[in-house]
Structure formats: C-alpha cells, structure tokens
Chains A and B, each alone.
Chain A
C-alpha cells in the first residue's frame, strides 16, 4: 500500500503495446499522484508517445491495465478519456488555421454551448490561469505560443484531472517557457495532475517533482527530481555516458575570408500561411558557424529555400565568392560548392522509397562523382553511386538494417547522418543546414554536432538554422534571430545571452 498522504490518480500496470513484431511499450508501470507534475523522459522512439496515447484513448493496450481513481478503466477513445477527466495538448497542434479561436474550441467541445457562453468561459478560464487568448482572432494570425495557449485553454474548459503535455516547450521562446511553467505550477497547486513529456533535462528538474525514464520501450527508473542531477538523468535516458563535444579551432582571420553575403533578400510569401522574408542581410566568413535561431514557422523554411535556390529572386540578393547567384538554380549553386541540408528528412532531403545509392545520386548527379559529359548526364551509373553511398555510410557511421536499404528503412538519426554525410561528401565550401538534430536521438545528435564543428575547423563556412537554442549556443560563432520573416543583426556569440535571443524571437 501507498503510505504517503497524496492519493493516486492514475496507475498503469504492465502496459504493453506492440505494432506487429515491434514492441513500443513493454510492461510499463507508472503511477501519477493527484496534483503532481510527473515528467516522462526518454529519447525519440523510447515509447513516450505510445504510452500517453494509451492514456488518452488513442491506442488500445495489448496487455496490462490502467486504473483511474482506483478503478480499472477501458479508455475507448479520446472523447471517453476527456469525460473521465484526461486532457492532452499535442506537440503538433490540431487547430484549423482559417477558423477563429472560439470556433476551433467549439468544434472539439463535447458539451454544446452558444458562442456567447463559450466566449465568456474562454475569457474566464484564460484570466484565471493567466493564459492570454483572444477568442475572436483567427488561428492563422496567432503565433505558435498563442496557439499552444488555445490548446491548453481548450483542455482546461473540460476541467481535467490529468493534463498530458507532449513536448510543450519545443516551439516556445525562453520567456514563453517561463510563463508556461507558471501556469503549470498553478494548475498542479489547484489539484490537477500533469504528465509532462520532454527530453530536456533542465526543464524536468525545474518543473516536475517526479520523473519516469523510458528507454527502448521499458521503464528504466522512476525517481524524485530533487535528488538527481541532470547528468544522471541523461545517462539513464541514453543508457551510456555522454561524451562532451570537442570545441572547434578558430582560424586566423584573413582579409578575404568572406564566403557568402546576403543583401536585402526579399521573398513574398507563397500562400496565406507562409511567411514573407523581409530585407534579410547577413554575411558569413569561412571557418565560421553562423547560427540562425528562431521559433519554427518564422521564415526558416522560406529562408532555406531562398538560399538553396528552390525559390529564385534577384541576382544581387545573394553573393557567393563575388558571384551573384540570387537567381541561379540549386544545381548551379551546388556546382559552386554550396551544399544544403533541409529541415525535412523525408520527401525533401531524401526520397523514402528509393535506395540509399539512388538518394546519393539525387544530389550528386552530374557534379561531384560524375563528370559532365553528355553520356554521364543522360545515364545513371549505379556502380558509382553505390560506391559513393558506401563511403558516406562508412565515414558517418550510418547504420543500415541491411545492404543498401530504402531511405525509409533507416531510423531518423541514421538517415540524418546519411543526409549530412552526403552534403559533406561533396567537399563543399559552404554548408547550409536546417534543424540538423530535430527528432534525432542524443547519440546521433552529438555525432552530427561534432561533424559540424570539425567542418568549420577545416575552414568551411556553415549556416546553421535551428530552433534548439542550446544547439545554437553550443555550435555558433555568431548568432542572428529570425522572427516573422525578419533577421536580427548578427552578433558575436560572446555578446549574446539566451535571454537576449529569446527577446529577439519577439513573441509576447
């Protein structure tokens, strides 16, 4: 029996979930007390999402049971879970951009209210918890942080006893995170339990009282956060010691070191949900890593496309080694020695249904491993691209399930190592990388970050677009912040603090 005075709200025993032969959760035991903030820690693919999806009625456990308020419950579907008092805020929001905030909430609400009643209760709830939302605004006009608040308000309207939050801070600025944590703490004081999913260790120490660590579908440990250091948490999560990155050597500053300059770059948004790039200016020298921070959806995708040549503009907007390339296509830019690693691994950087050697050929064709005679331009040469892809695999520790697999058969981390390896294999002078470690496990992320530093040490220029502030500060020499299509002045890292960067992200 439990001899503490706080009562158990949710208790899962022996929960197992399989997808075919793949075990996503292996007899998980977890207990959440009333009013407790309980963190769920684990790498990507450790089984966190599967577990909470079972709590929210989205998945059916194969074995084991869930007790809610001491009764075994069969959570048939999310609607049933909501009536039980379980709410969830997803990492990817489920809001309709074209509808207003109150309309969005109305659709998902189980009880029927008139619009007036609803708006009143939205305003009441948002005031009570300090979650600023305006019911009449369209979701498309809201920042990511505001959208998250809408999602939270939507959950709170149902007066939940348990609120599940899936990686809530991955899209927030530091200031927004502070606010969110205040709200969560107040909620827990009022008796609502919170299951907080994250892989960010310091956050968990800060907000949660208890943490359950998952690794490869199993519970590794459940512990009080007070008594444990972030290092120990990390080691339990990864299952081995974390190796620290070796810093990069700084090159001597030469006078003609300039690699790329971008001058008054302008791109009108492609559609109503896109971002207009406004007057972007920056330069980057060889041997430098330029970090571009910012919350997702503030123009990073558009900036990447403009820099890569997937969208074209005026000639003088982009100058690489004295050549104006603002209107040259991506293949021409590659020829000059610029390589790109876009944010989306599947369907953009690679074709999931093609083999690795074909995916190598995708960016290598005609330029690096093939010379440009007509014959070589017309015909694919599998032998050469197989050789090249083997080299990439070997140099970058890409682990394949078998020889020359389809891209979709690699894990996220291995695929990313392959993509980055492919860019580096071309021996580029400048590499533009977007979100290199997003959704990648810590081991692979560390390898990738080390590669980036090594490349800069060799005198290459690297533009790193990332929403991970830790990563930006760890790797960059200078930092700029993109917000709503505007890029801040680039400053040396030494003159920047995370708080300043957060302010530049410019979201209230």
Chain B
C-alpha cells in the first residue's frame, strides 16, 4: 500500500526536479507508444521533441505558436487564483478578435499604427465584455460561471461564423467566408532582423509578452487587488473578514482574463491572418487552461509552459508530415505531461512511502 504523508517543510529541489522528471517520463512513455504503433522510435522522438529546435526559424515558429497561449494563459491566472473558473477563454478570444477586426474594417485606407493600438483596446474590451456576462450572472443570480463561460464559447463561434459569412463578407472573396483584408495600419508585421532577414513567422506581437508577464506578476504580487485575489481564492471567509468586496473581485478577474484573451486574438489575427475568417482560434483558449496550470499560475511559469506545449504541437506537425504519425499524438503528449506534472506536485507536497499490508 502507498502511504502519503504531508511534508512539513516544502521540498525546494522538487520544485525544479519535478517538472524535469515529468518531461523525461513523458518522452519515455512517448517512445513506448511509438514502439507499439510500429513507428521508428528514435526518428519519431527526434521529430516530435528535437526537430522544432533544429533550425532558428523553427525556434521562431515555436514563439509564434506559443504567443496566444501565453497571453491567454497569463490572463487566466487571475481567474484561477481567485478560484473563478473561466473555461471560456476561447469565446473571449473570438469576440475580442471580432470586435477589433470590425473596428479595423471601418477604416479601410488607414495605414497608421494608432489604429492597431486602438484595436488592442477594442479587442481587450470585447473579450472583457464577453467574460463579464458570466461574472454578472454569477454575482446577481449565483449562476455557475463554468457553464456560462463554456456555453458562450459556442455562441461566439457561431456568431463570428455568421458575421463573416454575412455582414462582413468580402464581395471579392469568390464566395469564401472571409472578410476584407485589414488595412495596413491594422497589421502586425514580421520582424526583419538586420542582416538575417525574417525568421519564420516571428512577428512584433511577441514583444507584448515582455510587458504583460512582468506587469501581471507585479499586479498579483505587489498590489492590493492582487492580494485580494489571492486571499479570496484561498479563503473566501477571510476575504470578507478583511473587508474585500467579492463581487468586485469576481468581476475584476473575469474582465482581466477575458480582456487578455481578446488581446491575444487581436495579435494572432493581425499578425498571421490579416483578415477575419470563421476559424480564428484553433482551440488556443482551451489549451491555455492547461498552460496556466502547467505554469503553476505564475506569469513566468506560463511563458515556459506555453513554449513547451507549443513545441509539442509543432513537433507533432513535423511528425505527421514526415512520418505520417497522426497529429492527435500531441493531445496524448499534453495529457501525459499534465498527468506527470500533477503527480510531481503530489510528490512535492507529500512524502510517499511503500508499506506492506500485514
């Protein structure tokens, strides 16, 4: 029988070793799966885990892929720390994108980047607005925010589909459900490194993370609202004893995470698509939930987690192209990795020992 005894003092080296072991174990299980499916083991592992790092432009693509995951993930930290379960970042991403995109299309000839900056604001507000629906329903009617935020994802998906096929369809799109292309002022350009040129799809939007992560860290750890979120999330009664307003906290964290998801959508579409289409997100909002937890609800941790998950996704793309391994293996790797990381967390908090039953 396994016996779990809580550790009295947190084991510091496990915080570092834990994730490392998890990754190694994930690779080992991955090898086993490839073996069982009769794929060449070394080659497959190489494609999934190493090839994304094999060229500079591929590394750049990891950053591009990770960008929306990280931005949404950072936003979700606020909710999850307050024990508010926003499962609908996908929908907030879509609505943010839609609002900002429609706004951009109002100024077809604009080539001033003030337009882009105002799109950030509009996208943030759009996502925040979408997220404030579950917040207000929870505050006023005590409706479960998990259900509302999740269901609003599907509303958002259908809504953008309708808009792009209907009111905003480009007459020149030959029947494709696409909007007109964004004006130049709404486009985030690729980074042109002097002497090197472009690196994959690497774009300026990635820089936003350099602001958002420290900003969020500061907000959480050094400000009163951040403190209120922490207290409310771990002991609601203590939060009311301190005199914190739980409605304000609930609304605040949902606005923050919805807004960040919207912002992520604006950056993603302005950098990579340049127009609205029915599918603007590819499950980023859902994957970001895993990213937020893998990153231990810490903005810097979320950056690392976002990169890890993005690597796995790109690696799976490579493996599919070169070896014909189905892309769904990423899903399996994400699952296994999450599993081991959670198991690692248990080892951090508990001492596990084996005991034979008498």
A residues contacting B by CB (< 8 A) are 19-22, 74, 308-310, 329-331, 334, 340, 342, 344, 346-354, 358, 361-363, 365-366, 377-380, 409
Complex A-B: 19 CB contacts under 8 Å: A20-B7, A309-B243, A310-B241, A330-B242, A331-B242, A342-B241, A347-B237, A348-B241, A349-B241, A351-B230, A351-B231, A351-B234, A352-B235, A353-B234, A353-B235, A358-B227, A362-B231, A379-B224, A380-B226
A404 to B92, CA, bound (A): 40
The answer for the CA separation of A344 and B236 in the assembled complex, in Å, is 13
Number of A-B contacts (CB under 8 A): 73
Q: In the bound complex, how far is the Cα of B242 from the Cα of A409, in angstroms?
A: 21
- Chain B interfacial positions (CB closer than 8 Å to A): 5-8, 222-227, 230-231, 234-235, 237-238, 240-243, 351, 358
Docked pose: A24 CA to B315 CA in angstroms: 52
Using known A-B contacts A380-B223, A380-B224, determine if residue A20 contacts B5 with beta carbons closer than 8 Å.
yes
Specify which chain A residues have a CB less than 8 angstroms from the CB of B8 in the assembled complex. Answer: 20-22, 409
Q: Closest Cβ of chain B: how far from A256's Cβ, in Å?
A: 29
Across-interface contacts of A380 in B (CB, < 8 A) = 222-224, 226-227
Q: Which 7 A-B pairs have the closest CB atoms?
A: A331-B243, A20-B5, A347-B235, A348-B237, A351-B235, A330-B243, A362-B242
Closest to A402 in B: B9
- Among A358, A363, A365, which residue has its beta carbon within 8 angstroms of that of B241? A363
Would B227 and A361 count as touching, CB distance under 8 A? yes
Nearest A residue to B242 by beta-carbon distance?
A362
A379: nearest chain-B partner, CB-CB: B223
Which residues of chain B come closer than 8 Å to A361, judged between CB atoms? 227
- Which chain B residue shows the least CB distance to A19? B5
Name the residue on B nearest A330 (C-beta).
B243
Asked if A354 contacts B5 (CB within 8 A), the reply is no
Residue of chain A at shortest CB distance from B5: A20
CB nearest to B240 among chain A residues: A310
Complex formed: what's the CA distance from A22 to B6 in Å? 11
Point out the residue from B224, B227, B238, B351 that lies within 8 Å of A20, measured CB to CB.
B351
**B235→A308 contact, CB < 8 A:** no
* Contact A308–B241 (Cβ < 8 Å): yes
Pairwise interchain contact B242-A365, C-beta atoms closer than 8 A: yes
Q: Report yes or no: A334 in contact with B223, Cβ–Cβ below 8 A.
A: no
Residues on A with C-beta less than 8 A from B234 are 351-354
* Most chain B beta carbons < 10 A, residue from A308, A348, A377: A348
Q: How far is the CB of A217 from chain B (nearest CB, A)?
A: 16
Distance in Å: Cβ of B310 to nearest Cβ of chain A: 31
> Which residue among B5, B8, B238, B351 has the maximum number of chain A CB atoms within 10 Å of its CB?
B238
B238 touches A362 (CB 8 A): yes
Assuming A330-B242, A363-B241, what are 16 further A-B pairs, CB within 8 angstroms? A20-B8, A309-B243, A330-B240, A331-B242, A346-B235, A348-B235, A348-B237, A349-B238, A351-B230, A353-B234, A353-B235, A354-B231, A365-B242, A377-B224, A380-B222, A409-B8
Per a CB cutoff under 8 Å, which of B222, B230, B235, B243 touches A379?
B222
| A348 and B239 alpha carbons, distance in the complex (Å) | 8
Supposing A20-B8, A20-B351, A353-B234 touch, asked if A334 and B243 sit within 8 A by C-beta, the answer is: yes
Q: Which residue of B lies closest to A333 (CB)?
A: B243
* Across-interface contacts of A346 in B (CB, < 8 A): 235
Complex-state Cα separation, A330 to B74, whole angstroms = 32
Smallest CB separation, B125 vs chain A (Å): 22
